[in-house]
Every structure is written in C-alpha cells, then in structure tokens.
Amino acid sequence: MNSAPNSSLPVGLTHQKSTFLDISKLLEATKWVDGLSGKEVETLSRYLRLCTADEGTVIVREGSTDAYLCLLVDGKVNVVKEGESGAPKELGSIGPGKTFGEMSLIDGERRSASVVAEERSTLVVLTGDGFSRLSLEVPRLGLKVLFKISKLLSQRLRQTSGALVDRLGG
C-alpha cells in the first residue's frame, strides 16, 4: 500500500509534509470518521493528503472537472455560485469538521459551485485517484467511505428541498 495518493493536488493548495498518523489524529478530532475503527482511520489516512489554503485561495472552481473531497480541519471557507448575471453569490460558509467536494467523487461531473478560503485553512484531501485506490485495495473501507458520502449527500438534498419549499411559501 502506498503512503500517499498519486494524483496531483488541486491548484492553490499546498501539500504539508505529514505522516498517516498525523492525518489520523486530525481525522479522529472530527465527527467525519465516527463509525470507523481506529485501524480503519489509520488505513484511510494513508490515502489522504494534508494541505493548506491561504485566505482567498479558490479550493474548488465552479465548472472544473477535478475530482476530490476536502475535509476542513481548521479555518473557514465560503461556497460561491455564479448567478445568472455572472456575479458570484455566496451560498454559505463551511467550518471545521465539515466536508465539501464529495459530489465530484461520485458523479465525475463539473463542479456546481466554487469554494474559497475565507481565512487560512487546513484540509485533508481525498483525490479521485486516492478514492479509486482505496476502493480497489481496501474495498470494505472504500464502501464505508462511499456510504458516508452518500448519507451526507442525502442529508444535504433533504435540507435543500426543505429550504426550497420554505422559499416557495409552501
């Protein structure tokens, strides 16, 4: 098993030298790995990269086809979508312990929004190549990660549906 994913990191992110144990400790401090054993967290950490993004860095660019998921460990990021007029509209912000970018790992489609670092941020990144390798080399853990992503997407769809109904006045 390799110690790090082979694919390149998203433009703008700076890779931080770290061991899988460093990443494991960061993961265990979040709720994202709830339901995984300590051994599974260590194994998953071998497929992840620790990165930083300076304030103003575009971590995810709307329309790009890069596939990677980010878990925000420290800092704050804003989700921004280009409006009909072309002007950016802020959809919300994301704080530590939350993920973004997971849809790209599942569907491979273009990014639906941009994510910009509001302040210097630390992230753990799972690239598409890292996820593919995880799924091939440790399929049971890959499936657990896939279920975790699916549950998150389902929860977000429910929230969006509820917000839409509220906005439509129903």
Whether 43 maps to a domain, the answer reads: yes
Structure tokens at 124: 């753990």
CA-based diameter of the chain, in Å? 53
Whether 153 maps to a domain, the answer reads: yes
Give the pLDDT of residue 158: 81
* Cα-Cα end-to-end distance for the chain: 52
CATH of the domain at 95: 2.60.120.10
Whether residue 12 contacts residue 68, with contact meaning beta carbons closer than 8 Å, is answered with: no
Residues spanned by the domain of 21: 14-127+137-162
Q: What whole-number distance in Å separates Cα of residue 113 and Cα of residue 69?
A: 13
Q: Taking 90 as the threshold, does the pLDDT of residue 117 lie above it?
A: yes
The pLDDT mean for the chain works out to 89
Q: Higher-confidence residue: 138 or 157?
A: 138
In total, how many domains does the chain have? 1
Q: Taking 60 as the threshold, does the pLDDT of residue 5 lie above it?
A: no
Whether 78 maps to a domain, the answer reads: yes
Q: What whole-number distance in Å separates Cα of residue 73 and Cα of residue 33?
A: 12
Give the pLDDT of residue 60: 94
Region of 169 (left: φ > 0; alpha: ψ -120 to 50; beta: rest) is left
Question: Which of helix, strand or coil describes residue 14?
Answer: strand
Q: Taking 70 as the threshold, does the pLDDT of residue 8 lie above it?
A: no
Region of 63 (left: φ > 0; alpha: ψ -120 to 50; beta: rest) is left
User: What mean pLDDT is predicted for residues 147-158?
Assistant: 84
Q: How many residues does the chain have?
A: 170
Q: What whole-number distance in Å separates Cα of residue 124 and Cα of residue 165?
A: 34
Q: Please write the tens of the pLDDT for every residue from 15-73.
A: 999 999 999 999 999 989 999 999 999 999 999 999 999 999 999 999 999 999 999 99
Report the range of poorest mean pLDDT among 113-122, 133-142, 150-159. Answer: 150-159
Whether 91 maps to a domain, the answer reads: yes
Whether 3 maps to a domain, the answer reads: no
Give the pLDDT of residue 4: 41
DSSP 157: H
Its pTM stands at 0.86
Q: Taking 90 as the threshold, does the pLDDT of residue 106 lie above it?
A: no
Q: Taking 60 as the threshold, does the pLDDT of residue 6 lie above it?
A: no
